[in-house]
Chain A
Amino acid sequence: GAVVSQHPSWVICKSGTSVKIECRSLDFQATTMFWYRQFPKQSLMLMATSNEGSKATYEQGVEKDKFLINHASLTLSTLTVTSAHPEDSSFYICSARLAGRYEQYFGPGTRLTVT
């Protein structure tokens, strides 16, 4: 149980284009989903927290207009990187949490490369 999927697993895009990453909880309903990014050899950095049906809460320093998060249902959250730049190249990981629980279950991650 507690399986989270992400799509795509890797994507290469050109500078200036937008990329959408999907995060799905496959066998449970996730009231809260989280988006992290991870640079090589560094730990996970929380970007934003999203609760189903409400606006995402962004961490300090994360541009909400650049990283658009939509949590339309209890099983799906999307992250759209708008007008991507090479410095946005990173490993993006989502996680999901059940209501009333503390542990988060992570998706397999999406490797984004912006050329």
Chain B
Amino acid sequence: EDKVVQSPLSLVVHEGDTVTLNCSYEVTNFRSLLWYKQEKKAPTFLFMLTSSGIEKKSGRLSSILDKKELFSILNITATQTGDSAVYLCAVSGGSQGNLIFGKGTKLSVKP
């Protein structure tokens, strides 16, 4: 059965800390891995990763994929209270390329 596992499930840090969120997967017909940020409403797209070892970066956020070890990490440096959210990892796979979501990591950044 296809699955995506995120860790930790929740994390509390202080402003300025650096955090690393983990996502491992076992998915047939892997196509891509995506990271989303979900605050109070629907998820917003952060990154899509298809190739191993190529870091994607957007401001203080960065992510990398390891297709050999079947995992990805999302790094957030110099965290701010506005980074508080649930971060979802999803993998596009299966016969239709649908997204399989992990349970998410709830990040709380304290001032």
A contact residues vs B (CB 8 Å cutoff): 2, 6, 34, 42-44, 46, 49, 57, 93, 95, 102-109
Within 8 A of A (CB), among B52-111: 88, 92, 96-99, 101-104
In the complex formed, the residue of A with least CB distance to B102 is: A43
Inside 8 A of B98's CB, which chain A residues have their CB? 34, 46, 49
Complex CA gap A36/B106 in Å reads 20
A103 touching B102, Cβ below 8 Å: no
Residue B20 interfacial (CB < 8 Å): no
Complex CA gap A95/B38 in Å reads 14
Cβ distance A52 to chain B, nearest Cβ, rounded Å: 15
Complex CA gap A64/B41 in Å reads 26
A44 touching B41, Cβ below 8 Å: no
B contact residues vs A (CB 8 Å cutoff): 31-32, 34, 36, 41-45, 48, 50, 88, 92, 96-99, 101-104
Inside 8 A of A34's CB, which chain B residues have their CB? 98-99
A49 touching B96, Cβ below 8 Å: yes
- The 8 residue pairs across chains A and B that have the minimum distance between CB atoms: A106-B42, A102-B32, A102-B92, A109-B42, A43-B101, A93-B42, A43-B103, A108-B41
Known A34-B98, A43-B102, A43-B103; contact A103-B41, beta-carbon cutoff 8 A: no
In the complex formed, the residue of A with least CB distance to B89 is: A43
B43 touching A102, Cβ below 8 Å: no
Inside 8 A of A57's CB, which chain B residues have their CB? 96
Cβ distance A41 to chain B, nearest Cβ, rounded Å: 8
